A and B are shown apart, each in its own frame.
Chain A
């Protein structure tokens, strides 16, 4: 009768009493099969130890301490209670805020950026919202400086420099009537406290609400680091918003149909040129002026493991990686360590160097024309706020 594996391990671990150990030893000396099994077990014990020691080099702060994650991140021991802010009480996460924004049908462009934590304490939640909403300006018309941009000397300058050779927006978009019924304001840059976004609704189509909710559920798909976990929350939030915040003002019956077309369109194409025009000290690793290109991103060396992992992480790996260019006065310069991918309803920018981060761009709601003029504001959750504004600009000639 051969030794069973458990006994061999117990013996090698010194867990058997003297008599039992002696018996095992004798048997192993006589039986070739068991001797081999003992050798194998030694190998497994050493191998397992070695593998586990690879886990010791672990950075802290993997789980962010952020209300964006329900505040439960490292809240840790059951004895520890986090003070409940209004944010917590309302279960109002940035994703939900964005979801609520979508409910304001055909409102301004609302895009949500989120930077997942890939470094200690680094979690930034970024929100893209329309800077200005302009009625029915056809997208196929190359952008001249937007009304809002006019107030901003920097963007005017850029708009002049980058002439009208811009890549035209999808022609389909131009034909859509754009009901501009609401306006979403995002908490201003630099405010130390996280605030719920104030949303003022001018008019909102009651009929469109139901439609928009279903649109939301489809469109507000996985976009950010924690989206899988909070997806269902998003749905609940959207329903709540419909039930609560939105007045049932009358709107043209066509609104919901248009809205559907709008959201479908908006998700498709965020390629084009942008400029960082406002905000605080950082551009979040983005070039001052950049283009989300339509050419493929090519990397010199590809870490196979990363690919494997992102496949298991979920949805984005399937989408193609496209290049990002910095726009300089000399022309376009490809950004080597960054790429963007189209996702379900927006885009994801990945910056690999020098500070690795992922910026998730999600389209929440939009009037198409406002795509030409997009503002980004962002929130950094570690007690400081960071805000960046991106404005869509015409692309320079190739």
Chain B
């Protein structure tokens, strides 16, 4: 059980006047090492690449201001997660609605186009909806794990006990897989109805 969780500040202290060269180099290293997994985590979490990039950028800006970072990866993911939560709270409903519209449009768009892209769009839509079925904590733990964070890091980022990470992940995975299964069953059932309807007409 690492105690690193306690060292991760929820809000970083500004240190604009003290950004030294060494610090910049450190942050550069942080950036090259963690930018990609962090963005992927955020894309999966948010469903929007631009938004994900912006949150990632803000996260690294905060890293610049941060005097000292213990457990870098957990710190970055924690800050990004908090930024997402802060913003998501603001307009969760609006985003969800837009997302649904976008996915709907994407699925409807492909009446003819290559079946693979329709298939992919549908898969992504289902995955997104299934992910939304999870509790926030379960979802974040799972997405962090997928980016390679170990149990200590996840515990630190989400302020969980390390002992509960296994249970959290087990629950998250089970719910996700079950939700997808269920949605796919629904979809197949609807497709059957659709086919029957077409024959009838």
Residues of A within 8 A of B (CB): 4-10, 13, 15, 41, 43-45, 47-49, 51-52, 54-64, 69-70, 72, 74, 76-80, 116-119, 225-226, 228-229, 298-310, 312-314, 337, 350, 352-353, 356-358
Question: How would you classify the secondary structure of chain B's contact residues: helix, strand, loop or mixed?
Answer: helix
Interface contact tally, CB-CB below 8 A: 226
B172 contacts partner chain A, Cβ-Cβ < 8 Å? yes
Extra contacts besides A79-B61, A308-B187 (19): CB < 8 Å: A6-B167, A6-B169, A9-B173, A10-B165, A13-B151, A52-B142, A54-B124, A57-B124, A58-B43, A59-B49, A60-B53, A225-B101, A229-B97, A303-B122, A309-B107, A309-B125, A310-B100, A313-B104, A337-B111
- In the assembled complex, which residues on chain A have CB atoms less than 8 Å from the CB atom of B145? 13
B30 contacts partner chain A, Cβ-Cβ < 8 Å? no
Cβ contact within 8 Å between A118 and B91: no
- In the assembled complex, which residues on chain A have CB atoms less than 8 Å from the CB atom of B53? 60
Chain B 17-59: CB-based contact to A (< 8 A → 1; otherwise 0)? 0000000000000000000000010011001111101110110
Chain B interface size range: 35 or more
- In the assembled complex, which residues on chain B have CB atoms less than 8 Å from the CB atom of A62? 47-48, 50-51, 98-99, 102
Cβ contact within 8 Å between A9 and B166: yes
Contact of B61 among A56, A58, A77 (CB under 8 A): A77
Chain B 100-125: CB-based contact to A (< 8 A → 1; otherwise 0)? 11111111111110000010101111
- In the assembled complex, which residues on chain A have CB atoms less than 8 Å from the CB atom of B174? 5, 44
Cβ contact within 8 Å between B50 and A74: yes
Give Cα A300–Cα B198 distance, bound, in whole angstroms: 8
Give Cα A80–Cα B131 distance, bound, in whole angstroms: 29
Instruction: Determine how close the nearest CB of chain B comes to the CB of A341; give it in whole angstroms.
Output: 13
Cβ contact within 8 Å between A305 and B125: yes
Residues of B within 8 A of A (CB): 40, 43-44, 47-51, 53-55, 57-58, 61, 83, 86-87, 90-91, 93-95, 97-112, 118, 120, 122-128, 130-131, 142-143, 145-146, 150-151, 162, 164-174, 176-177, 180, 186-187, 190-191, 193-194, 197-198, 201
